[in-house]
Amino acid sequence: MTASSHQEYTPLSIARQFYALATPRERRLFWWLCLLNIVMGLFEIGVAGGISLLGVAMSAPESLARYALLENIRAALPFSPGIPTALQFLILVLAGVCAAALLKNVLLGYITWLQNYFSQRIAWTMGSNLFRRFLAAPHIWHAGQNSAELLTSLNWKVYVAAYATTLLTLFTQIVIAVFLLGGALIANPLLSCLLFASVALLAVLIQKGTRARIYGLSQDIRHYDLYNSRVAMQGLQGLREIAIYDKRQNFLQEYAKFIDDYSLKNSSRTTLPMLPMWVLEVAGMLLLLLVLLLQVRLGSSVAATTGMLTLLAAVSWRLLPAANKTMNAILNMRFNQPTLEKLLDFVTELPAPERLDARPVRHFQREISLHDVSFTYPHAEHAALRDISLTIPKGSMVGLVGLSGSGKSTLTSLITGLLRPQQGHLCLDGNIWNTSTERLNIGYVPQNLYLLDATLAENVAFSHWGEPVDEERVRECCRMAAMDFVEDLPEGIHTPLGERGVRLSGGQIQRVGIARALYDRPELLIFDEATSSLDGATERAIQSTIESLRQHVTLVVVAHRLSTVEGCDLLYWIDKGSVAMHGTAATVLPAYEKTLQHTAAHLAEKLS
């Protein structure tokens, strides 16, 4: 399954996913909200019933005397003898309605706050869960993803909060509607059924007419968001080249490519959920008029007509907003659903890691070896590595050479544990080594170093990120990496390097990478094409630094330049995923050089 092909989701299945991902505290909050909503429903029917009694009290107050409870309460209250009984009933009922409305709204305010709090917690839990899965996802999975899309997906937790709030709102409105309908049906089943069945039918028709449109609009808007994120990230990361080639306007135009469609569709998406409110409000008033005409037609008394009409009006007064909010909630869920589907697809696709703690370090005394190791990338026509066998003796300097695409980087990814062999074994001192459960103490210097937007010291201590920086160790590593420029920085090792190390040259960045790789006192230090993008003088300086480290640590140097690996004790020539030749540099390099010359001549011939 891929993140682009999702299973079918419903509001109920999404709610179950939320509940499954929720923490124990969030689950307790959910059940507390359910209980509060039931209490809220009781208050709603109480207020509606009180308004009905208020209508009777205003039209025929003497009829309230037949209610024993009201009569007893009225008699117990210290009313002045000069106040007529009818007014006493009116005061009593109105005070009761006011008290019930006050308590209801206090409870409603608390429920609303708690719903928002719960939704935000669910959103952050979802975001943290997703980030955890991204961090633990196999390296090969990340190779097929777009980093801008992953970052945008993490920021979509706002949609999770909106969806969770909408689900809770829907639940609240359904509970309120059930209590209101129950009270009205007890009072007059026939007229209540007529009124509410008509409203329900109209609501269903509106919902069916708009849900598909809302879903389509949401898919388009999500597509525009992802596209803009990709363009923005490419524009910000490529500022140097964009300025050199004078393509600022082109990127700006590309970023604003969908502005008209986005504005039109977002406006439609915002307006459509309001449609039910406008239609149901008018329909509700017309239906109340119809009820009144039916009561008159049936010859009901003024008190009975007033009481029934007031009850239905009170119920409709609360039920119509409930219906509006219900419809609005359903349409908003429909809008947010495509985004939620994308996030839940990631959750389904990536298993939750049991833990992210660092794997225990396994030490080796004699050698690291690979035995008949093969690896093929997903959807690739050919294997990246085929039956590779090689040995890295402890304390040696081993070189891996080969043309681009020969399999060198795949090989280092296996040694570092980023990839796992599909066939064959990795061994330490002759014993099988499971890179998923154990790791080597490795220092790694890539071709393009990832730098934090932080100080030099924090960048050097990256392998212990989140822990206090050992400044003395940082200075020692800087000396070992021949970073003679540190003293020239404004604040020494505490100088912020800026995003992607904008304060430093290419050679200086590579030296930071070497210092970082040394910080954790590695047993194995890997240079993965670390000098391929540097000029000759800078490469020689870095090469001299590498040579000086061989007495401290086992070295693996990956390169396609001959000069980089001339000093290696052992050399492996990787060609099309296999070991073409191995031995000393003096043995392997002449044959490799002839291949390079032949390849260059063949390429020149094709170009001519």
CATH of residue 510's domain is 3.40.50.300
Same domain, 387 and 318: no
Same domain, 438 and 483: yes
Rg (CA), the chain: 36
From 77, 78, 80, 74, select the one nearest 61 (Cα to Cα): 74
| Sequence-ordered list of residues with C-beta below 8 angstroms from that of 60, at least 6 positions apart, any chain | 302, 303, 306
Residue 303 inside a domain? The answer is yes
Q: pLDDT tens digits, residue range 83-118? A: 877 777 777 877 887 888 888 889 888 988 998 899
Tokens encoding 530 = 């670390």
Residue 357 inside a domain? The answer is no
Residue 6 inside a domain? The answer is no
Q: Confidence band (pLDDT; 50, 70, 90) for 29?
A: very high
Task: List own/partner pairs for 537-544 with CB under 8 A and 24 or more apart.
Answer: 538/505, 538/506, 538/507, 538/510, 539/563, 539/564, 541/482, 541/507, 542/507, 542/510, 542/511, 542/514, 543/567, 544/482
Give the SS3 label for residue 554: strand
Q: Which is it for strands 554-559 and 397-401: parallel, antiparallel or unpaired?
A: parallel
Same domain, 514 and 428: yes
Same domain, 414 and 314: no
Cα–Cα distance list, 294 to 53, 191, 287, 455 (Å): 21, 9, 11, 80
Same domain, 324 and 419: no
Same domain, 410 and 334: no
- Range name among 262-271, 447-456, 548-557 with the lowest pLDDT average: 262-271
Q: Confidence band (pLDDT; 50, 70, 90) for 5?
A: very low
Q: pLDDT tens digits, residue range 296-336? A: 666 665 555 555 556 556 566 566 666 667 767 777 777 77
- The pTM for the full model equals 0.68
Residue 362 inside a domain? The answer is no
Cα–Cα distance list, 42 to 38, 98, 109, 182 (Å): 7, 15, 16, 11
From 252, 517, 229, 550, select the one nearest 398 (Cα to Cα): 550
Number of domains composing the chain = 2
Same domain, 339 and 456: no
CA dist., res. 460 & res. 49, Å (int): 71
Same domain, 287 and 328: yes
Same domain, 495 and 600: yes
> Which of 288, 321, 349 delimits the end of a domain?
349
Q: Confidence band (pLDDT; 50, 70, 90) for 284?
A: low
Same domain, 293 and 424: no
Same domain, 384 and 310: no
Q: pLDDT tens digits, residue range 221-234? A: 878 887 887 788 77
CATH of the domain at 162: 1.20.1560.10
Domain that holds residue 219: 11-349
Question: Residues for the chain: how many in total?
Answer: 608
- Residue 279: the pLDDT is 64
Contact 48, 311 (CB under 8 A): yes
Which segment, 265-279, 421-435, 519-533, is predicted with the most confidence on average? 421-435
Same domain, 258 and 313: yes
Read off the amino acid at residue 448. Answer: N
- Residue 157: the pLDDT is 82
